[in-house]
Amino acid sequence: MIKICTIGGGSSYTPELIEGFIKRYDTFPVNEICLVDVEAGQEKLEIVSDFARRMIEKAGLDIKIINTLDRRAGIKDANFITTQFRVGQLEARILDERIPISHGCLGQETNGAGGLFKGLRTIPVILDIIEEVEELAPNAWVVNFANPAGMITEAVARFTNFRKFIGLCNVPYGVKMGVSKLIDKEYDDFEMTFAGLNHLVYGVSVKVDGKEVIEDVIERSDSIEQIVQNINEIPFELDFSKALNLILCPYHRYYYKSKQMLDEEIEEFKKNGHTRATLVKDVETELFELYKEESLNEKPKQLELRGGAHYSDAACSLIDSIYNDRRDVQVVNTMNNGALDCFADEEAVEISSVITKDGPVPLKIGSLPVAVTGLLRQIKSFEIISAEAAVKKSKNLAYLALCVNPLSQGDEVSKLIVDELFEAHSKYLEGFK
């Protein structure tokens, strides 16, 4: 028996996951997928579960779909547990973005003020889940897709002894997919190595038949297909990319194009109150109307607009590789263990790793260019302090975390933003001192 438990099963991403397991049924014959959610997400959970059953029926497979609000029952005896939930749902994300923008600060959901408060809401729940996994499914692997994935992985590494936890992001998969189209090669027919942090990951090598071609790719990097929806496609200066000699991901715009990104987001916000979150909510509303249609039995194309393109390939490939001990290379968030010189062994990084039955083994890369190590260390400081704030329930540490983040606008503005976000999310941040 192979049991999957997906916490946040009512997410619009879930059909991606179901599709991935259907595609891999021959090598990963899952018997049961238990979709778990909270009471506030019950309606979406039921809609997604019914849609998943239609997908399974069309595929003609013997996979049982169970939906429940009982998280412990979902976790019990599971082989793999995936986490993809959002505490407070999209309404919380809208606040995470609108409040910082109202103070002239980027409201990015992963690393800025929004990422900080998403982490404060999410990390305590993740740590509770791990306690339940250790009790109810001690041999299970936990694969986390919830953002901020790097901060969450850091918290688990730093504040628990649980070592079967892997953070996952679709961005490296999508960047490689874009490069594959650029060089006219199938995804598996060339090697691409990534290193850095979640949403701050760099492509450090591209090899075709053993030959390094990263300089050729960088020369045409402005043609790499955008794989993260709802991020403004402001092009990077070619001379900058060539000087860096690394391939950038879409989220680097928040750091290397901060002023342009902020100006555009403020203009959009002033014009109609929109942020990235409100656009995502509109897409999700449309998706759930589609999911309700009884004639729909395959993943709709519109799901790519949600920002989760290639999620199923990333998540299901990882799970399949652990189960089958494939020892292929995938990009995951895991402990550094000597792979990158600018991070301690026990710090979490996003890096190309060999995937084994015993988990990921990061590729030894060594030094990264000095041009990026400063920014990486600054974001790592932010992740560590944020994780500590979430575990110790400290408002002062949360404030400090935002002050050291490169997307902040100084200590005074950070204080205003932190105070307003604590008030806005008080329902989910009880016990902070």
Residue 126 lies in a domain: no
Whether the per-residue pLDDT at 227 is higher than 80: the answer is no
User: Mean pLDDT, to the nearest integer, of 370-376?
Assistant: 98
Percent of the chain with pLDDT over 70: 97
pLDDT of residue 175: 93
Whether the per-residue pLDDT at 273 is higher than 90: the answer is no
pLDDT of residue 282: 86
Alpha-carbon distance values, 322 to 74, 137, 337 (Å): 21, 16, 19
pTM as predicted: 0.95
Backbone CA torsion sign across 415, 416, 417, 421: positive
Residue-by-residue DSSP string for 246-302: SB--GGGHHHHSHHHHHHHHHHHHHHH---HHHHHHHHHHHHHHHHT-TT--S--GG
Regarding predicted confidence, which is higher, 273 or 195? Answer: 195
Residue 166 lies in a domain: no
Q: Are 421 and 96 in contact (CB under 8 A)?
A: yes
Residue 387 lies in a domain: yes
Residue 345 lies in a domain: no
Q: Are 306 and 287 in contact (CB under 8 A)?
A: yes
110: its two tokens: 């992963």
Whether the per-residue pLDDT at 169 is higher than 80: the answer is yes
Q: Which residue among the candidates 251, 255, 291, 323 is catalytic per the annotation?
A: 251
Residue 63 is given by DSSP the state -
Q: Are 133 and 75 in contact (CB under 8 A)?
A: yes
- Letter string b/e over residues 6-45, b meaning 16 or more CB atoms within 10 A of that residue's CB: bbbbbbbbbbbbbbbbbbbeeebebebbbbbbbeebeebb
Percent of the chain with pLDDT over 90: 84
Cα–Cα dist 105/266, whole Å: 9
Residue 133 lies in a domain: no
User: What count of other Cβ atoms lies within 10 Å of the Cβ of residue 322?
Assistant: 23
Residue 416 lies in a domain: yes
The mean pLDDT value of the chain amounts to 94
Cα–Cα dist 322/168, whole Å: 14
Q: Which of 288, 229, 298 has the alpha carbon at shortest distance from 10?
A: 288
pLDDT of residue 36: 98
Residue-by-residue DSSP string for 142-181: EEE--SSHHHHHHHHHHH-----EEE--SHHHHHHHHHHH
Regarding predicted confidence, which is higher, 205 or 266? Answer: 205
User: What count of other Cβ atoms lies within 10 Å of the Cβ of residue 3?
Assistant: 21
Any catalytic annotation for residue 251?
yes
pLDDT of residue 230: 65
Task: Assign 231 a pLDDT band (cuts: 50, 70, 90).
Answer: confident
Task: Assign 302 a pLDDT band (cuts: 50, 70, 90).
Answer: confident
The residue segments making up the domain with residue 401 are 377-428
pLDDT one-digit tens code per residue, 115-168: 999 999 999 999 999 999 999 999 999 999 999 999 999 999 999 999 999 999
Residue 404 lies in a domain: yes
Cα–Cα dist 15/308, whole Å: 11
Q: Which of 215, 217, 213 has the alpha carbon at shortest distance from 225?
A: 217
Query: Hey, is 36 helix, strand or coil?
Result: strand
pLDDT of residue 130: 98
Regarding predicted confidence, which is higher, 223 or 119? Answer: 119
Residue 409 lies in a domain: yes
Task: Assign 307 a pLDDT band (cuts: 50, 70, 90).
Answer: low
User: CA 375 from chain center: how many Å?
Assistant: 20
Alpha-carbon distance values, 256 to 232, 234, 235, 241 (Å): 13, 10, 10, 11
Domain count, the chain: 1
Q: Phi and psi for 382 in degrees, rounded to 5?
A: -60, -45
pLDDT one-digit tens code per residue, 11-29: 998 999 999 999 999 999 9
Whether the per-residue pLDDT at 69 is higher than 80: the answer is yes
Whether the per-residue pLDDT at 311 is higher than 90: the answer is no
User: Mean pLDDT, to the nearest integer, of 293-321?
Assistant: 82
pLDDT one-digit tens code per residue, 335-369: 999 999 999 999 999 999 999 999 999 999 999 99
pLDDT of residue 275: 79
pLDDT of residue 395: 97
Q: Are 81 and 137 in contact (CB under 8 A)?
A: yes
Whether the per-residue pLDDT at 383 is higher than 70: the answer is yes
